[in-house]
């Protein structure tokens, strides 16, 4: 198997140690938190009784301000030393959230995720992980296969895949160094061995690929936040670019697993049509499914979506046919 190139160290030692300690602390206390959409999060925090944390879920799930004595003193010192706690109007606030994904706890950015370098985790992460698990239970990867999670974010996709197919060579990539730092922490906490490459494409990875995972952004974001802005094609541009790069790199029998959204214009799905063309040109099979017909309907009120009927959630599996 060819070696990786351009691998870079991306983890700040103090931050990683503090976050590993946080995950261990929360696991010991049976912490669980399912992260909702930002809109739902905002609605919950708007309630009169949700202005100040009273427990660990409030601190590390709902991102509420908290009093110092609400958290274990040694853990507080470690988080403060790592720069993971900030002031909040006389109280304190965690800069990270921790969410449950199956048997694991994953660290990601605190609410609200307004910063351009925010590391997002939410309902799409859960659907992406379920899509991967269903596909790999149907057809597991062989031992020694190379798996790449493009734009890994907090690492949910690669971690979900690792639980379904052991003894594969896992690589997580992201353009955002903050994402790679958190993905490394999350992978280690989940017992998943992986390598980490910073970059916006696959140029840092050599050789053919057996399994490529992608959960790209699919909404046009005026702020240009990398975790949210899907580019042209009404937000499907990043997804298509990932497919165009990954599919030609697939080994015999290799698969590209894509979870994203696609804008439907006058009944037409441009992403589907482009993937059909790509699969045919590359001698691959395509399985494409619309799994939710209507999400982010509020986006249709913006000028960028003036001609869009709806935004659908879709999954695609592009598989290179064995010869």
Tokens, residue 74? 């040694």
Q: Which of 1-5, 75-79, 179-183, 307-311 has the lowest mean pLDDT?
A: 1-5
Asked whether residue 1 carries a pLDDT value surpassing 80, the answer given is no
Q: Tens of pLDDT along 12-37?
A: 788 999 999 999 999 999 999 999 99
Q: Tokens 């905002």 map to which residue?
A: 42
For the chain, how long is the longest CA-to-CA vector? Answer: 66
pLDDT tier for residue 10 given thresholds of 50, 70 and 90: very low
How far is Cα 199 from Cα 164, in angstroms, rounded to an integer? Answer: 26
pLDDT tier for residue 4 given thresholds of 50, 70 and 90: very low
Three-class SS of residue 7? coil
Tokens, residue 3? 């070696």
Tell me what pLDDT residue 79 has: 96
Asked whether residue 163 carries a pLDDT value surpassing 70, the answer given is yes
Q: Which of 5-9, 43-47, 110-114, 303-307 has the lowest mean pLDDT?
A: 5-9
As a whole number, the mean pLDDT across the chain is: 92
pLDDT tier for residue 2 given thresholds of 50, 70 and 90: very low
Q: Tens of pLDDT along 251-280?
A: 999 999 999 999 999 999 999 999 999 999
Strands (E), 127-283: 146-150, 169-174, 195-198, 209-214, 250-265, 268-269
Per-residue DSSP letter, 132 = H
Question: CA separation (Å) from 49 to 45, 57, 91, 296?
Answer: 8, 14, 16, 28
The whole-number average pLDDT for the span 154-169 is: 93
Asked whether residue 210 carries a pLDDT value surpassing 70, the answer given is yes
Tokens, residue 201? 């494409």
Q: Tens of pLDDT along 98-112?
A: 999 999 999 999 999
Asked whether residue 129 carries a pLDDT value surpassing 90, the answer given is yes
Tell me what pLDDT residue 7 has: 43
CA atoms within 13 A on the CB side of 81: 14
Tell me what pLDDT residue 179 has: 95
Asked whether residue 231 carries a pLDDT value surpassing 50, the answer given is yes
Q: Tens of pLDDT along 243-252?
A: 999 999 999 9
Q: Tens of pLDDT along 164-196?
A: 987 789 999 999 999 999 999 999 999 999 999
The whole-number average pLDDT for the span 38-60 is: 95
Asked whether residue 6 carries a pLDDT value surpassing 60, the answer given is no
Asked whether residue 3 carries a pLDDT value surpassing 90, the answer given is no
Tell me what pLDDT residue 223 has: 73
């Amino acid at each position: 198997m060819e070696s990786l190139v351009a691998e870079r160290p991306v983890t700040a030692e103090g931050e990683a140690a503090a976050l590993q300690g946080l995950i261990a602390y929360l696991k010991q206390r049976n912490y669980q938190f399912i992260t909702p959409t930002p809109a739902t999060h905002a609605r919950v925090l708007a309630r009169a009784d949700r202005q100040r944390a009273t427990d660990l879920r409030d601190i590390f799930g709902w991102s509420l301000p908290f009093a110092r004595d609400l958290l274990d003193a040694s853990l507080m010192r470690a988080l403060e030393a790592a720069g993971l706690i900030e002031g909040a109007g006389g109280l304190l606030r965690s800069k990270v959230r921790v969410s449950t994904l199956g048997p694991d706890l994953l660290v990601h950015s605190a609410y609200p995720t307004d910063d351009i370098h925010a590391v997002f985790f939410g309902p799409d992460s859960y659907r992406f992980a379920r899509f991967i698990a269903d596909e790999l239970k149907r057809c597991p990867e062989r031992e020694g296969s190379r798996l790449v999670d493009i734009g890994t974010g907090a690492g949910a996709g690669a971690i979900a895949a690792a639980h379904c197919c052991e003894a594969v060579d896992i690589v997580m990539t992201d353009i955002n160094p903050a994402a790679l730092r958190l993905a490394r922490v999350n992978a280690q906490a989940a017992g998943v061995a992986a390598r980490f490459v910073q970059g916006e494409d696959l140029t840092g990875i050599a050789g053919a690929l057996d399994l490529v995972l992608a959960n790209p952004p699919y909404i046009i974001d005026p702020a240009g936040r990398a975790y949210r802005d899907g580019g042209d094609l009404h937000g499907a541009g990043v997804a298509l670019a990932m497919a165009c790069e990954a599919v030609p790199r697939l080994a015999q029998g290799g698969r590209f697993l894509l979870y994203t959204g696609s804008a439907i214009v006058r009944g037409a799905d441009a992403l589907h049509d482009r993937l059909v063309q790509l699969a045919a040109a590359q001698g691959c099979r395509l399985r494409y499914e619309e799994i939710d017909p209507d999400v982010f309907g509020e986006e249709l009120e913006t000028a960028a979506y003036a001609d869009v009927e709806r935004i659908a959630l879709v999954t695609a599996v592009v598989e290179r046919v064995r010869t």
